[in-house]
Structure 1
Amino acid sequence: MVAETVEPTTAAPYIAGDEAVLRVENLTKHFVKKRLGRPTTAVKAVSDVSFDLAPGETLGLVGESGCGKTTLSRLILRLIEPTSGRVIVEGKDVTRLSKRQLREFRQRVQVVFQDPYASLDPRQRVAASVAEPLTNSKLSSDEKLRIVHETLERMGLQRAQARLFPHQFSGGQRQRIGIARALSVTPKVLLLDEPVSALDVSIQAQVLKLLQELRDEYRLSYILISHDLSVVRHVSDRVMVMYLGRVVEMAPKEELYTAPRHPYTASLLSAAPVPDPDVERTRERIQLLGDPPNPASPPPGCAFHRRCFQAELVAQKLGDSEVTVLEDGRRVPRTCAEKQPVLVTQDATKHWSACHFPLSREAVATVTA
């Protein structure tokens, strides 16, 4: 495969500028493990993550389990405190808000959870669940009920169903109720945490169509967390790929899916099924070696170099002085084994990647066919 030379840049991967409804700046979260009351090791769950979100934009967030996606969403919601970095929503630094201000902020950023049944209190009627985010508002009971009825109707449900309990609905209807609850306070940003993974395929399509309609109607911005790359491609405008707490690639949707630059992204795409059976039978597969490293003791250099097919191919063209030999005998470039890659862009396509030897378009043509 052909390696391309990249000159590092210190610019952040922002595209929305002053219009950004949400901006994350160098966000970092380390969980410190203690033994006998004393700190021992730090789990680097999120490391130096930066991005922004434009009004009406959907940003897809993908990566293996344990890569930091959920921790990042909890940091954005300020359910946990960051080790360093900032989250800015509509110009306000969320990390510095008081408890009272935080309640107001959470009306601007809402979340839709993966399991629609677990996210609803089975003892509460639907009307009470949907009105729950309005608890701290100064609205009267009649006004709250009006909002509940109007929001449920927009979700394709009937007003009379507000008197029912969650168990009296199907899975797709419960997810619509969860979306209604998030929308009751007219937020600007929705965090969608695997919003359709627990639903049948036909119901998935209905909920995704509804989410797209709501985004266009209310000019909402979404952060979509999903393992389903086909869902991410269908809904997202941009895609951000995380590995071991770091952003390794970020690009417009079609650019990333047709010409990934990071070997990890190419590996994820090669594992995703393709609808065309002829292509599915003949296309190249990338086999990842082993499991992700322990975030409490990540390897030096690039965290992906021990699983990277590109590193081995590049090492074949290098001299012995430029190569590091791993414990299992595989050879990788010394740069990969010793130096953490920087998130950089090569051109004006807004395509960012963190790889010392990014892939060329020709190299991944068979993988992403």
Structure 2
Amino acid sequence: MTDYPPLPATAPAVVAHGKDDLRIEEVALTPTRPDQAVIDIAYGGICGSDLHYWLHGAAGESILKDPMVLGHEVVGTVVRAAADGTGPDVGTSVAVHPATPAPGAAKYPLDRPNLSPGCTYLGSAARHPHTDGAFLRYANLPTRMLRPLPETLPLRRAALVEPASVAWHAVSRAGDVRGKTVLVVGCGPIGTLAVAVLKRAGAAHITAVDMHENPLQIAAAVGADVLLQAPDAATIAAVEADVVIESSGNHFGLASAINGAVRGGRVVMVGLLPSGEQPIAISLAITRELELLGSFRFNDEIDEVIDALADGTLSVDAVVTHEYALKDGLEAFDTARNSALSGKVLLNFRA
């Protein structure tokens, strides 16, 4: 067992105070509950929701009312085990499943806790008081969130476990993709990770679509066969994909997804569109008898993702394009907002 020095009273963190007000500042470390371990965070990936809290003071309907520590895509090492004896030992490297379902809050399929209406997520303003995230050097996390990592899986690569689980869940919603033609609309981190998952799952032919060249090159590196940059409607329609993964998160992308699906095809919507009405030509989905499926976060797929990253069958390294020390966190967020330039941007909390 590794010996670690006593924990400090404060630790540096990434805190959103409101719209356009993001700070790297010291926060007080709170006492741990008996079911919590203290994690020395190594890496954190900047997610679209983190960007929304910074740029808009809200992520969808989740409105920032108080300062909140951001971050849910984190990995690190246990430096203080839980007092109740649960969870991994000191020195164990871990990934984090950031959800806390709320059983009994309302009716939902019990085998799909991601649909629990009362579910909370690290770094989310969906509830008040807000649920602080884990973009801080030392995070107190419930042991039920922790997933021990194999020694063969480097922490830097493991930083993609959470977003890769989102992509894995989306692909699983599509069913068996072996031998099928697939269209991925939107090649941000979730889209490119979906390409990697599709490749591993045996998709026969993957077409990737994006507005920018750099994301498409990342998609090619992880398995896309054809790249379409800002294609017109006729080019999209000619794809005739058996399965479409819509990960752009805007109505133009969803329109392309519907247009690019073969008659009787399946469209998985993982990109989160803004709330409210969307101008979509849904009649095409009706006359083609398309199946439109939502995909939201993930459940136990995280365990399969860890195994696939550890054994090398899920190739994702190209998705990470930038790494910044925590002290340069504001620059990291500015890079992450530029989807034409960056893929997944990581914060290194130990640099």
Whether TM-score is above 0.5 comes out as no
TM-score (norm 1): 0.24
Of Structure 1 and Structure 2, which has the larger fraction of its residues in strand? 2
Structure of higher CA gyration radius: 1
TM-score (norm 2): 0.24
Of Structure 1 and Structure 2, which has the larger fraction of its residues in helix? 1
